[in-house]
Amino acid sequence: MPWEKQFDVDETLAKAGQAFWSQGYEATSMSALLAAMGIQKGSFYSTYGSKHEAYLRSLEQYAKTRLDEFEQLARRSGAVDSLRAFFEAIYEDCVSPTGHRGCMIINCALELAHDDPKAQAIVKTAIARNEEVLRRLIQAGQEAGEINRALDASATAKAMMSFVMGMRVYSRSGSDLEAVRILADQAMALIAPT
């Protein structure tokens, strides 16, 4: 009879993601990772393969969860209200007690992606997917007459994404949380009527 896992693979992976998100890839030791996941070394290696593979899988899980949350938010109301709610949610997350963690995707971009093609691919895909949701919202707002039709929706989505990244980096550094508010407001000013 085959051996059955005594833990939920996805739930345990989410716990690994929390450890990586809080401490970063390099700073998360195997002993800290195993403690966070609540599993033994043998179970870890037979299920996840390696620390690097667990990190990549947790990064993908994080990216999917965040994108799903954003897409649900984008379906709730009009385009401008959805964009405002998105930036408010990011702001609230940034200034929360756990805001110093920043965003796992952006943390990876800063820590690991430049030397790790697999991590880089996950980061690029996550950013592109978020930009696509922003672009669709901007276009929907233009079609509804809420947003200036002269704006380039793709370029504005990229600019908004750069504001998101800035907000996350400021919150990670903890140096100037007022700047997080300014960036959120400036992101929305990009689509303000002229």
Instruction: Count structural domains, the chain.
Output: 1
| DSSP for residue 75 | T
Provide the sign of the torsion angle of the four alpha carbons 179, 184, 190, 194, taken in this order. Answer: negative
Residue 79 placed within a domain: yes
For 156-191, the pLDDT digits (tens) are: 999 999 999 999 999 888 777 889 999 999 999 999
Q: Is there a domain that residue 96 lies in?
A: yes
Task: Note whether residue 128 is domain-resident.
Answer: yes
Considering the domain boundaries, does residue 46 fall inside one?
Answer: no
pLDDT per residue over 94-112, tens digit each?
Answer: 998 888 888 999 999 988 8
**Could you tell me if residue 91 is inside a domain?**
yes
Q: What is the CATH number of the domain that holds 165?
A: 1.10.357.10
pLDDT value of residue 5 = 59
Six token digits for residue 189: 């000013």
Specify if 47 maps to a domain.
Answer: no
Residue 120, in any domain of the structure: yes
As a whole number of Å, the end-to-end CA separation of the chain is 70
What DSSP state is assigned to residue 43?
H
Contacts of 14 (CB under 8 A, 6+ apart): 58, 61
Enclosing domain of residue 59: 55-189
Q: What is the pLDDT of residues 143-158, one digit of tens each?
A: 999 999 999 999 999 9
Q: Give the integer Cα–Cα distance in Å for 114 and 69.
A: 27
Residue 171 or 135, more confident: 135
Residue 160 lies in a domain: yes
